[in-house]
Structure 1
Amino acid sequence: MDFFTLIGLVVILYLFIYIVALSISDCDLALLWADKINNKLSTLKGKVVWITGASSGIGEHLAIEICKHGAKVILSARSEENLRRVKQRCIVESAALPDNVSVLPLDVTDFSRHEHVFQKAVQQFGKLDIFVNNAGRSQRAVWEDIDIEVDKQMFNLNVFSVLSLSRLAIKYFNEQESGHIVVTSSIVGVVPAPFSASYTGSKYAIHGYFNSLRNEKMGSNLEVTLLCPGPVFSNFLNEAFTAAPGEKFGQKVSPTDRRMTAERCAYLSAVAIANKLDEVWIALFPLLPLCYILVNFPFITRQFLKLVGPQAFQKIRDTKETVET
């Protein structure tokens, strides 16, 4: 066997193992390795973590998960009532001390309050170690029907509020000479989804901004993590933007849908944060291996999309056709 034949066999074996691993995993291989071999969740003990969008879904379960490992948590969202409910869950389910969970109501699109609320967040426990930007909304709409006001509202919530708060956090972390910025993106920030143009655009913007930040701060003690979950059981479809300003999509997620539980997504997100991973993909089969193929083999991507069409792609994402054309 000559050298080049050996190299070819090694490459084929590597690809085979890679495909098999992705077919049985619900996260990318770097995160899978961290979870199974060295999850480092114990390093969260004593850390102060501020989570926006913490009143439901992934944010709620991430708060509970992080509390389990001894972190002090600041919960932010618009609804103080829901935040207090989440605080109680953290106390009951994570055995967190009441004084280690703080409620700090915030509408992230109220930019005038950002600096004031950020200072209040730091004062809660006297420091801030990890800032998790989790607030956001999805969208379902036909591309050409979307009112430009929807794009503006989407970017205000999913992009500009994240940038505004993160810049305050980074200035603080620069003074402390360490810190960790986490942003909940989406798998559509990796592979663009049909019938979610404004949402997809906002997540691509997030990747551009924060990948640039990571490269700019390379070699410093500032960590940047992008979380990219696929479909998750939550209230996101009901709250999603549509093509019209001020309108909610209003559909409920079915219990029979093929989605990851918010608890599992939050656990994997906590592992990614504890291990300070750059970017993680979190999704069930077949979406996860499909994303690898679509990202790494653009020619196959084009042929695949032509073959199956946008409606089939939508069904992979939502388990059903949520937008009629």
Structure 2
Amino acid sequence: MKSSVPFVSLAALHWAHIQAKPAASATRAPTSQINSRPQPGTWTRRATPPSCGLGGAGRLWRCDIEGLSWSSSARAQPEATMTWELVLWLLALGALLLLLVQLLRFLRADGDLALLWAEWQGRRPEWELTDMVVWVTGASSGIGEELAYQLSKLGVSLVLSARRVHELERVKRKCLENGNLKGKDILILPLDLTDRSSHEGATKAVLQEFGKIDILVNNGGRSQRSLIMDTNFDVFKELIELNYLGTISLTKCVLPHMIERKQGKIVIVNSLAGIVSVPLSGGYCASKHALRGFFNCLRSELTKYPGIIISNIYPGPVYSNIVKNALAEEVTKTVVHAGDQSYKMATSRCVRLMLIAMANDLKEVWIAEHPFLLVAYLWQYMPTLAIWMTNKLGKKRISNFQSGKDADSSYFKIWKTKHE
């Protein structure tokens, strides 16, 4: 026998094959139609391989079965579309959740988002700043004083500079009482930023004492509270000499040492007044805007020294004596009524965020509570709206100051918590 398949089996196979075909194609389709595109959801017959057709019923049965295929594209295409739609919806939902999280963080923020991220996930000052030599100007009060206290707990060597030597002695004693330093770790170096001829000698004194300068914190300066039209020109000159020219003079004395070592940090304690426009502080704003422009240019010129970090820090209102010591209409006059300062950010919190910025080499740092932080963002991204708001609030600010209140506080009734 030529085939091992009984005749009855062969007949049953052909009957099943015929029933599976569409009624319109009961006869064998021409060769030109065999390879045509199948309709979705139908049985189609592929071209018969050359080896089929002879050699017995068994081979014919096998070729007939292999020649059938089921087109399922009608079901696959909708499933693929639904999968991509689901992926897109999930991505959109994830983006929305991320936006909501960032919005909540912003509403509770007391610093820019990069700074707060560094506080959460970044390097710790306790790890990064140990064993460094840190030179702090304006160390006799305010932010500089608090910075000395917190640095003394990190195991650094401190250089404290200001004009009032007796105040520097007081700060040193407190650092030794509450910190981890010994007397030899703290150098008191009297310094007048307006006496630029003394800056080179002061720099040499620090290098002779400690052999290096890892961090220079330019914190010295004064604020101002007076209307531009009422202010003597000498006040503007004094603010530029002290806040701007004195700072860049000392920096230029220290910078060659850092370039020689190819490393170091230069920290500029600027102000939100270096970003925004603040009525009653025209000369102060000018000096702080000048600092921002100068040090941003310096950073660009030092790109071949990646180990030298320029960090501009912009605190908002901080609880200190800055208003009490601010210049008024004359160089010899200071503010008579400082007003209530209790609504301002605690100095300890401001300094902690500064240390985090220093440990993480942040280049631009905003430290302020709302609404002052919000105003800074508006000046950065929506200046037209910011100018309109400043003009509206400026009238109230001037009125507050002239009536003996703090210029910044009275139109923000929500901040009335006393700082210890």
The two structures have a TM-score, normalised by structure 2, of 0.71
CA distance in structure 2 between the partners assigned to 1:242 and 1:261 by the alignment: 25
* Selected match of 1:249 from 335, 341, 347: 335
1:10–1:91 CA distance, 2 compared to 1 (3 A): same
Aligned to 2:375: 290
The yes-or-no answer on 1:318 pairing with 2:403 is no
The yes-or-no answer on 1:240 pairing with 2:326 is yes
1:260–1:5 CA distance, 2 compared to 1 (3 A): same
What amino acid maps onto 1:248 in structure 2? T
Q: Which has the larger radius of gyration?
A: 2
1:313–1:264 CA distance, 2 compared to 1 (3 A): farther
Are the aligned partners of 1:45 and 1:69 in contact in 2 as well (CA < 8 Å)?
A: yes
* Selected match of 1:275 from 360, 368, 374: 360
Aligned to 1:223: 309
1:11–1:215 CA distance, 2 compared to 1 (3 A): farther
CA distance in structure 2 between the partners assigned to 1:244 and 1:131 by the alignment: 31
Are the aligned partners of 1:173 and 1:222 in contact in 2 as well (CA < 8 Å)?
A: yes
**Greater relative CO (CA pairs within 8 A, separation 6+):** 1
CA distance in structure 1 between the partners assigned to 2:397 and 2:198 by the alignment: 43
Q: Deviations over 1:197-242 (max 9, x none)?
A: 0000000000000000111112412110111111111111111011
Q: Deviations over 1:264-289 (max 9, x none)?
A: 11111111111111011111122112
Aligned to 1:264: 349
Aligned to 2:265: 180
CA distance in structure 1 between the partners assigned to 2:295 and 2:249 by the alignment: 13
Segment of structure 1 superposing worse, 196-205 or 12-21: 12-21
CA distance in structure 1 between the partners assigned to 2:338 and 2:387 by the alignment: 31
1:127–1:34 CA distance, 2 compared to 1 (3 A): same
CA distance in structure 2 between the partners assigned to 1:171 and 1:43 by the alignment: 23
Segment of structure 1 superposing worse, 198-207 or 294-303: 294-303
Are the aligned partners of 2:162 and 2:189 in contact in 1 as well (CA < 8 Å)?
A: yes
Q: Deviations over 1:1-30 (max 9, x none)?
A: 699999988776655443321221211111
Q: Deviations over 1:114-160 (max 9, x none)?
A: 11111101122111111111000000111222221111100000000
Are the aligned partners of 1:239 and 1:250 in contact in 2 as well (CA < 8 Å)?
A: no
Root-mean-square deviation over aligned CA pairs: 2.5
* Selected match of 1:20 from 104, 121, 129: 104
1:178–1:9 CA distance, 2 compared to 1 (3 A): same
CA distance in structure 1 between the partners assigned to 2:237 and 2:228 by the alignment: 15
Aligned to 2:115: 31
Are the aligned partners of 2:155 and 2:180 in contact in 1 as well (CA < 8 Å)?
A: no
1:309–1:76 CA distance, 2 compared to 1 (3 A): closer
CA distance in structure 2 between the partners assigned to 1:43 and 1:307 by the alignment: 44
What is the number of equivalent residue pairs in this alignment?
320
Q: Deviations over 1:20-43 (max 9, x none)?
A: 212212111111111122243121
1:314–1:64 CA distance, 2 compared to 1 (3 A): farther
Aligned to 2:183: 98
What amino acid maps onto 1:18 in structure 2? Q
1:104–1:306 CA distance, 2 compared to 1 (3 A): closer
Q: How far does residue 320 in structure 1 lie from its aligned partner after superposition?
A: 3.8
3-state DSSP class of the match of 1:74?
A: strand
3-state DSSP class of the match of 1:236?
A: coil
What amino acid maps onto 1:108 in structure 2? L
Are the aligned partners of 2:154 and 2:180 in contact in 1 as well (CA < 8 Å)?
A: no
Spell out the pairing of 1:1-325 with structure 2 (5 A cutoff).
16-41=100-125, 42-220=127-305, 221-252=307-338, 254=340, 257-312=342-397, 318-320=408-410
1:137–1:308 CA distance, 2 compared to 1 (3 A): closer
Q: How far does residue 310 in structure 1 lie from its aligned partner after superposition?
A: 3.6
The two structures have a TM-score, normalised by structure 1, of 0.91
Runs (5+) with no aligned partner, structure 1: none
Segment of structure 1 superposing worse, 93-102 or 175-184: 93-102
Q: How far does residue 299 in structure 1 lie from its aligned partner after superposition?
A: 2.8
CA distance in structure 2 between the partners assigned to 1:311 and 1:181 by the alignment: 37
Aligned to 2:53: none
What amino acid maps onto 1:311 in structure 2? K
CA distance in structure 2 between the partners assigned to 1:14 and 1:201 by the alignment: 38
